[in-house]
Amino acid sequence: MAALWPLPLLISGSLWACLAMNLPEPHNGSLLVGFNTSHVSPSADLPSALRVFSLDYHHVQAPFEIVLWIMLASLAKLGFHWSGRVPAVVPESCVLIMVGLLVGGVIYGVRHSAPPTLSADAFFLFLLPPIVLDAGYFLPGRLFFENLGTILWYAVLGTLWNILGIGLSLYGVCLLAPSSLGDISLLHCLLFGSLIAAVDPVAVLSVFQEMHVNEQLHILVFGESLLNDAVTVVLYKLFESFLRLSSVTGLDVLVGGCRVVVVGLGGLFVGLFFGLVTALTSRFTSRAQVIAPLFVFLYSYLSYLTSEMLHFSGIVAIVTCAVTMKQYVEANVSEHSNTSIQYFLKMWSSVSETLIFIFLGVSTIQDIHMWSWPFVCSTLLLCLVWRTTGVLLLTAVVNKLRRNAVTFRDQFIIAYGGLRGAICFSLVFLIDDFPKKRLFITTTIVVILFTVFVQGMTIKPLVELLDVKRKKRALPTVSEEIHSRLLDHLLSGIEDVVGYWGQHYWKDRFEQFNRKYLRRVLIGEHHQARSSILRVYQELERREQRGEEAPPVVDPRPSSRPLLPEEMDSIRRILSRNLQNFNNKQTPAYSRHTLHQNVTTDRMRKPLHRHMSLPLRCTYNTITHCPQRDDGEFSYRGRAQLSRSHTVCSASRRWSEPPGTLVPALQDRTLDHKPAEEEHHSPQHKAAIERATKKHLSFVLENEKQL
Amino acid sequence: MGSSSSRLSNIPNGQELMQETGFSDAHLLRLYERFQFLDKDNKGHLRSEDFEAVRELSKNPIGDRIVEAFFLPGQETVDFPSFVRVLAHFRPKEKNRTREGAQQEPEPANSRNQKLKFAFRLYDRDRDGKISRVELLQVLREMLGMQVTEEQLQSIAERAIQEADLDKDDTISFDEFRKISFHADPHRNRTGEARACLLEGKQT
> What is the DSSP secondary-structure string of A325-389?
HHHHHHHHS-HHHHHHHHHHHHHHHHHHHHHHHHHHHHHHS-S-----HHHHHHHHHHHHHHHHH
pLDDT of residue A321: 92
- Measure CB to CB from residue B60 to each of A483, A496, A575 and give the nearest one: A496
Residue A674, exposed/middle/buried by CB under 10 A (0-12, 13-18, 19+)? exposed
**Looking at per-residue confidence, does B126 or A385 come out higher?**
A385
**pLDDT tier for residue A469 given thresholds of 50, 70 and 90:** low
ipTM over cut 0.85: no
Of A273-277, A346-350, B169-173, the least confident = B169-173
- Measure CB to CB from residue B144 to each of A479, A575, A619 and give the nearest one: A575
* Chain A residues touching B36 at Cβ < 8 A: none
Q: How many CB atoms lie within 10 A of CB A693?
A: 22
Inter-residue contact B161 to A465 (CB < 8 Å):
no
* Chain B residues touching A570 at Cβ < 8 A: 152
Instruction: Map residue A470 onto helix, strand or coil.
Output: strand
Chain B closest-CA separation from residue A153 CA (Å): 13
Write out pLDDT tens, residues A351-375.
888 888 888 888 888 777 778 888 8
Distance separating alpha carbons of residues B22 and A519, to the nearest angstrom:
44
A705 touches chain B (CB under 8 A): no
Sign of CA dihedral B98, B104, B106, B108: positive
Size of interface A-B (CB pairs under 8 A): 198
Chain B closest-CA separation from residue A392 CA (Å): 18
Write out pLDDT tens, residues A456-465.
888 888 777 7
Chain A closest-CA separation from residue B3 CA (Å): 22
- Measure CB to CB from residue A479 to each of B160, B193, B198 and give the nearest one: B160
**Looking at per-residue confidence, does A110 or A582 come out higher?**
A110
Among A304, A352, A300, residue whose Cα is nearest residue A322: A300
Total count of residues recorded for chain A:
707
Rounded average pLDDT over A155-181: 86
Distance separating alpha carbons of residues A103 and A517, to the nearest angstrom:
55
Write out pLDDT tens, residues B107-148.
565 577 777 788 888 888 777 888 888 888 888 877 776 656
Write out pLDDT tens, residues A258-316.
887 888 889 899 999 999 999 888 888 888 888 888 989 999 999 999 998 998 888 88
Which long-range contacts link A144-147 to residues 24+ away (Cβ below 8 Å)?
Answer: A144/A219, A144/A223, A144/A323, A145/A503, A145/A507, A146/A503, A146/B204, A147/A216, A147/A219, A147/A220, A147/A223, A147/B204
Among B residues 134-163, those touching chain A with beta carbons less than 8 Å apart: 139-140, 143-145, 147-152, 154-156, 158-163
Element at B172 (helix H, strand E)? strand B172-173
Q: How many CB atoms lie within 10 A of CB A474?
A: 16
What's the distance, CA A179 to chain centroid?
46
Q: Does B140 contact A484 at a Cβ distance shorter than 8 Å? A: no
pLDDT of residue B154: 82
* A52 to A23, A39, A666: CA distances (angstroms): 21, 20, 64
Write out pLDDT tens, residues A686-706.
444 444 444 433 332 333 333
- Measure CB to CB from residue A574 to each of B123, B147, B201 and give the nearest one: B147
Element at A269 (helix H, strand E)? helix A250-283
Distance separating alpha carbons of residues A107 and A129, to the nearest angstrom:
28
Distance separating alpha carbons of residues B151 and B154, to the nearest angstrom:
5
β pairing state of B78-79 and B130-131: unpaired
**pLDDT tier for residue A653 given thresholds of 50, 70 and 90:** very low
- Measure CB to CB from residue B119 to each of A487, A579, A690 and give the nearest one: A487
Among A234, A368, A249, residue whose Cα is nearest residue A310: A234
In order, the DSSP letters of A662-686 are HHHHHHHHHHH-PPPPTT---HHHH
B186 touches chain A (CB under 8 A): yes
Contacts (Cβ under 8 Å, ≥6 apart) of A584:
A140, A141, A142, A143, A532
Chain A closest-CA separation from residue B110 CA (Å): 14
Distance separating alpha carbons of residues A33 and A256, to the nearest angstrom:
35
Q: At A402, give phi and psi (nearest 5°).
A: -105, 155
Q: Does B54 contact A561 at a Cβ distance shorter than 8 Å? A: no
Distance separating alpha carbons of residues A654 and A642, to the nearest angstrom:
12
Rounded average pLDDT over B19-39: 78
* pLDDT at position A126 over 70: yes
Among B residues 6-35, those touching chain A with beta carbons less than 8 Å apart: 31, 34
Instruction: Give percent of chain A above pLDDT 90.
Output: 6
DSSP H helices in A399-454? 408-416, 422-429, 437-449
* pLDDT at position A661 over 60: no
Task: Name the average pLDDT for chain A.
Answer: 69
* Chain B residues touching A478 at Cβ < 8 A: 156, 159-160, 163
Element at B131 (helix H, strand E)? strand B130-131
Distance separating alpha carbons of residues A357 and A349, to the nearest angstrom:
12
Q: Does B152 contact A575 at a Cβ distance shorter than 8 Å? A: yes
Element at A629 (helix H, strand E)? none
Q: Max alpha carbon distance in chain B (Å)?
A: 59
B166 touches chain A (CB under 8 A): no
Amino acid at A384: L
* pLDDT at position A615 over 60: no
**pLDDT tier for residue B8 given thresholds of 50, 70 and 90:** low
* pLDDT at position B186 over 50: no
pLDDT of residue A580: 39
Distance separating alpha carbons of residues B38 and B53, to the nearest angstrom:
8
Sign of CA dihedral A367, A370, A371, A377: negative
Q: Does B187 contact A404 at a Cβ distance shorter than 8 Å? A: yes
Q: Does B162 contact A693 at a Cβ distance shorter than 8 Å? A: yes
Q: What is the pTM of this model?
A: 0.60
β pairing state of B45-46 and B78-79: antiparallel
Instruction: Map residue A210 onto helix, strand or coil.
Output: coil
Q: Looking at chain A, which residue has its C-alpha nearest residue B64?
A: A493
Inter-residue contact B184 to B78 (CB < 8 Å):
no
B57 touches chain A (CB under 8 A): yes
DSSP H helices in A119-249? 120-122, 128-137, 141-146, 148-152, 159-176, 178-181, 186-196, 201-208, 215-244
* pLDDT at position A337 over 70: yes
Q: Name B173's bridge partners.
A: B130
Beta-strand runs (E) in A266-331: none
Inter-residue contact A370 to A436 (CB < 8 Å):
yes
pLDDT of residue A525: 62
